[in-house]
Amino acid sequence: MTVILKLGGSVVTEKDQPETVADDRLADLATAVADSDVSDLVVVHGGGSFGHPHAAEHCVSSTDGTRDPEAVRDIAAAMETLNRAVVGALADAGIPAVPVHPFSTGFRDTDGDLHLPTDQVAAMLDEGFVPVLHGDVLTTAGQGATIVSGDDLVSALATALAADRVGLCSTVPGVLDADGDVVPEITAFEDAADALGESDATDVTGGMAAKVRALLDLGSPAFVFGPDALDAFLAGDDAGTRIRG
């Protein structure tokens, strides 16, 4: 069974503290992954307090590009630093994690469509590795470089690898309604449109609304849940909000 797990940037970092890894929380997540029986796992993590501040400083987003090579280097370097921390935490827990940097493999065309080669990821899975990708800066035809979110990568990977399950581990226990309660299931964006808003920290990739829209387009069942529900998700149970378009 192929599982795509996204660890949100707000989960693996202290998002209100520049370039600060949430070491204890990350170690707990790595232990949960190590204790699971998932055979083919791909991990994607967000930018948190590493990528997002640099992208905001250089005015780069998923739609606004830059041709400044210094901006590209700053964002890419910050994400590689965070990726090393995530891969390192997974490795410390005994997981055969290996890094995959989207800037070096993917691009967007003139229509803004993401092209992400995934044969190397499939080969890594076949050889027993756990590929770890991350939100990144990405060359974009006609715009220089833009941001590709971890959610975009999750969508591309889930489709290309025919994932059986997709999970987004966030700082909230699921998609919340106007009363702060978890919405158990979403089958159309309108189900939770009134409650979906922007992230409360610097985020250049669209917040929860963008996550839900992307997950609704998948053919795989997807879940949005908090760290406490990671064990349940990895065990194959429902966790947080189930999203199925």
Edge-to-edge order in the sheet of strand 136-140: 114-115, 107-108, 136-140, 144-148
Distance CA 63, CA 168 (A): 23
What per-residue confidence (pLDDT) applies to 205? 45
Please, what is the end-to-end C-alpha distance for the chain in angstroms?
21
Q: Is 6 annotated as a binding-site member?
A: yes
- Domain of residue 20, CATH code: 3.40.1160.10
Q: Is 144 annotated as a binding-site member?
A: no
What per-residue confidence (pLDDT) applies to 137? 96
Q: Is 10 annotated as a binding-site member?
A: yes
Counted domains in the chain: 1
φ/ψ bin of 19: left (φ > 0), alpha (ψ from -120 to 50), beta (otherwise):
left
Q: Where are the alpha helices (DSSP H) in the chain?
A: 9-12, 23-34, 48-57, 69-92, 119-126, 150-160, 207-216, 230-234
Q: Is 9 annotated as a binding-site member?
A: yes
What per-residue confidence (pLDDT) applies to 209? 78
Q: Is 211 annotated as a binding-site member?
A: yes
What per-residue confidence (pLDDT) applies to 215? 86
Determine the structural domain holding residue 97 and report its residue range. Answer: 2-243
Cβ count near 44 (within 10 Å): 28
Tell me phi and psi for residue 242, to 5 degrees.
-90, 130
Distance CA 123, CA 129 (A): 9
- For the entire predicted model, the pTM comes to 0.92
Q: Is 207 annotated as a binding-site member?
A: yes
Each residue's pLDDT expressed in tens, for the chain with a length of 245 residues: 899 999 999 999 998 899 999 999 999 999 999 999 998 999 999 999 998 899 999 999 999 999 999 999 999 999 999 999 999 999 999 999 999 999 999 999 999 999 999 999 999 999 999 999 999 999 999 999 999 999 999 999 999 999 999 999 999 999 988 888 999 999 888 877 776 754 444 444 456 777 788 788 887 899 999 999 999 999 999 999 999 86
